[in-house]
Amino acid sequence: MADKKVLIVYAHQSAGSFNAAVRDVAIKELSEQGYQVIVSDLYAMNFKANATRDDIIGDLKNPDLFQYGEETMHAWNDGRLSDDIMAEQRKVEEAELVIFQFPMYWFSVPAIMKGWMDRVLTQGFAFSLKNMYDNGIFKNKKAMLSFTTAATESMFRPNGINGDINIALWPLQNGTLHFCGFQVLAPQIFWNPAHRPIVDRTAMLEKWSARLKGLIAEKSLTYAKCEWFGLSFEQGFLLRPEVQEEHESNVYGITTGHHLGKLLPPDNQIRVQVTDK
């Protein structure tokens, strides 16, 4: 276990926050299991959120039209990314599991964490059109979101005022983590801790600690397989007709995103589904 590493990408400004307490529980529990836990404390690091020309060392491939994605891909190939990006990429390479710990801001991650994703998960390093989703570069790694909300759980139900939490999580869990190949574990959601009594917050942390004991062995969320799609621009990256036909008789769509005009599969983004196909 000595060479097993977990990376926690952490974004909160206060050492006294509930997010800090959640992070500390993860460090303690995973360390006791023999994992080396690395924390990227983004605010403490003053991590640069904005993706700019400064992220590339040396000349640009196309100085007349700066395209961040293309230029960082070339820079990654040449070893010319900025030191802070390369340091984070090494942490990801070495980690068996990556946990993103944050307070939910505007149905997403804080800007500093979005900047980490934009800058660290470069093309070539984290993905390519040949290596994405279940064929992705990080297919042998696991990742998960662990976050607090200001809203109550009822507000994020399908009939709640904020709408279904599964829809809110689809871009992050499928569009970022799964796109890079990660096996995505169900999220750990701490509902409205700031307005809960201390006994409730303590119970949340105890539940998190209990889950961490078996976290590495958990089954990941289920997503549509790459082989179900025509994987070329000519084929439009569309679901193959025979696959769509196979699912026509199902009450629910395949995933939150691939709903095929049907009902969304219940809790597709927050817990592992056991279904008969």
DSSP 186-241: PPEEE-SGGGS-HHHHHHHHHHHHHHHTTGGGPPPPP---GGGB--STTTTTPBPH
**Residues 80, 62: Cα–Cα separation, whole Å:** 15
3 vs 221: which has the higher pLDDT: 221
Closest CA to 54 of 22, 78, 83, 89: 83
* One domain for residues 226 and 213: no
How large a percentage of the chain has pLDDT more than 70? 98
* One domain for residues 235 and 186: no
pLDDT of residue 2: 56
Which of residues 201, 221, 241 is at a domain's end? 221
* One domain for residues 106 and 226: no
Task: Give how far Cα 204 sits from Cα of 53, 79, 119, 168, 186, Å.
Answer: 42, 43, 32, 22, 16
Give the CATH number, domain containing residue 51. Answer: 3.40.50.360
pLDDT of residue 234: 87
Residues 44-84 have pLDDT tens digits of 999 999 999 999 999 999 999 999 999 999 999 999 999 99
Three-state DSSP state, 8: strand
Give the domain extent around 174: 5-221
pTM value? Answer: 0.95
Asked if residues 72 and 88 have their Cβ atoms less than 8 Å apart, the reply is no
* One domain for residues 232 and 187: no
* One domain for residues 132 and 114: yes
Residues 125-174 have pLDDT tens digits of 999 988 999 999 999 999 999 999 999 999 999 999 999 999 999 999 99
Overall average pLDDT of the 195-207 stretch: 96
Mean residue pLDDT of the chain comes to 95
* One domain for residues 47 and 99: yes
Overall average pLDDT of the 106-117 stretch: 98
* One domain for residues 155 and 261: no
* One domain for residues 271 and 177: no
Provide the greatest CA pair distance for the chain. Answer: 59
* One domain for residues 239 and 141: no
Closest CA to 114 of 174, 51, 71, 45: 51
**Residues 254, 275: Cα–Cα separation, whole Å:** 11
* One domain for residues 173 and 249: no
How many Cα atoms are found within 13 Å in the side-chain-facing hemisphere of 12? 22
Query: Going by C-beta distance under 8 Å and a sequence separation of 6 or more, which residues neighbour residue 196?
Result: 204
pLDDT band at 232 (very low <50, low <70, confident <90, very high): confident
* One domain for residues 204 and 260: no
Three-state DSSP state, 76: helix
Point out which residues pair with 116 in neighbouring strands: none
pLDDT of residue 274: 60
pLDDT band at 277 (very low <50, low <70, confident <90, very high): very low
pLDDT band at 235 (very low <50, low <70, confident <90, very high): confident
Closest CA to 179 of 122, 109, 132: 132
| Number of domains into which the chain is organized | 2
* One domain for residues 82 and 146: yes
Query: Going by C-beta distance under 8 Å and a sequence separation of 6 or more, which residues neighbour residue 93?
Result: none
